[in-house]
Structures are given as structure tokens and as C-alpha cells.
Amino acid sequence: MKSKDQQMLPHQETSHLSIEAIDSIKKDKSLFIGQLVHNLKNPVGSALSFSDMILEDLESYSPDKLKRHLKIIKGSCEAALNQLDIILLESRIAIKELDLNLQETLFSDLIKNCLAENEKNFQKNNFTIHTSFYGEEYKINLDRSFIKHTLHGLFQFLLLHSGNNTHLKIDLKSKNNHLLLSIESNQCAKCDEKIKEFNFKNSEKNNSIFNLNQGKFLNFKDISFIAQKHNGFLTLTKNVPNSLILTFAISTKL
């Protein structure tokens, strides 16, 4: 016959685990809020600062100066909204509840738009880019917002990890009912020497290596999840030392 203390032990262990789980949730919540505040502070602060300048000196503002400062405010607000989109998207991916809003779209149009939006950053780092899109492309069903964030995440990874004077070769082709976006970089100067080939099957294992570590863009694990939701995949392979090929594929049959 078990003693009273022995009978209580399982309940004590359960209570102990519950407390650990609660503490973990509290920690995750604190990190989440801290990340959100950090990412929103600069764009919101910038918009507020320029709004104050306009209001304090409105009568003496020239049309050109007003237009210039309003563009800064607009850009800051767009950056803040983008951060909210990323946070919401990451939270949905974390609980694996991500519904696609499918719209007929040319995948190449989204790629071109993303390249244009990152043009200043590419120029700043002396990137040269060669694009190749196959000529018989047709519209497919995809979630424009999720794919947009995916493309920004991929390009940001390259901007963060490649050195100056990097050459990118961007190729879009059709194969086996999939559209394959291949991004080949001739160097990855800041990549970890232990970098390994990546695919969605080992994304948990390699997430610490491939995480963008800034919270402003999607990491590879989240991008891989979005690819899978589009019945596709994400891979990273090494071609020659410090040369990488990113492949993002989505189905043409959604």
C-alpha cells in the first residue's frame, strides 16, 4: 500500500510541470511584446517626429518640403503595418493555422515588385542582379501577401549574409506542375562555416542557423511552412564554397 506522500507525488509532478509551462508562456509573451515594441518604435517614432515638425511650422512649409516629409510619414506607417503583418503571420504559423487567400497572379510580377522595393539596398551593397523569367508564364493561384513576405525574407537573408559586390542570378521556371524560383548567390561571406543544406524536413534542426535573427522578416522555417501551404518546398544548397542556391517552389495546381 502506497503512503500518503507517494500518492501525492504524481500530482506534485503535474503541478510542477504546469508551473514550468506557465513560466514558459509568460517568457514567450514577454519576448513577443518586447520584439513587437522594438520593431514598431522606430517607424512610429519617426512618423510622430515629422508630424510634430509639420504641425509646429505648418505656415512656413514649402510644398516640396511638405511633400517630402509626408512621404517619410507614409513610409514609416507602411513599415509599422508591415511589422504587424509579420507578427500576425508568425503567430498563425506557430499554431499551424494559416488560411490562404488565393488570387490569380503572375509570380514574376511579385518577384519584380520585391526587387524594385529592395533596389536601394541592393545598390548600397553593390549587388548586380541578372533575372531570367520563362516566356510562357501564366497566372496561378497564390496568396499574394504571404508570397510577398517570403520574397522579402529571402532577399533580406542574402543582403545580410553576402558581402559587397555580390552577383545574384534569379531564375523562374516551370517544372512538374510547380513554379521554381532559383536565387543563386556567388558568395555568402557572412554565412556560418557550419552551414548545411536545408529543406523543410530538417527545418527544426537548422532553424538556429538560418534564422534571420531580427524579427522584421520571415525566417527560413516560416518561409518553408508557407511553401508547403502552397504544395511546394524551400531548399538551400551549396554550389561551391560560399556560393548558395535558394530554391522556393509553389504548385501551379492550387
In a 3-state reduction of DSSP, which class is residue 186?
Answer: coil
222 vs 153: CA distance, rounded Å:
10
Residue 42, pLDDT above cutoff 50: yes
* Beta strand pairing call for 167-175 and 128-133: parallel
What pLDDT, in 10s, does the model give residues 16-36? Answer: 557 776 666 667 666 667 666
165 vs 186: CA distance, rounded Å:
10
Percent of the chain scored above 90 by pLDDT?
A: 31
What pLDDT, in 10s, does the model give residues 88-127? Answer: 787 788 778 788 999 999 999 999 999 999 999 899 989 9
Residue 245, pLDDT above cutoff 60: yes
145 vs 88: CA distance, rounded Å:
12
Question: Do 220 and 236 touch, CB atoms closer than 8 A?
Answer: yes
Residue 196, pLDDT above cutoff 60: no
Rounded to 10°, the helix 144-161/220-229 angle is: 150
Give whichever of 39-53, 153-167, 211-225 has the largest mean pLDDT: 153-167
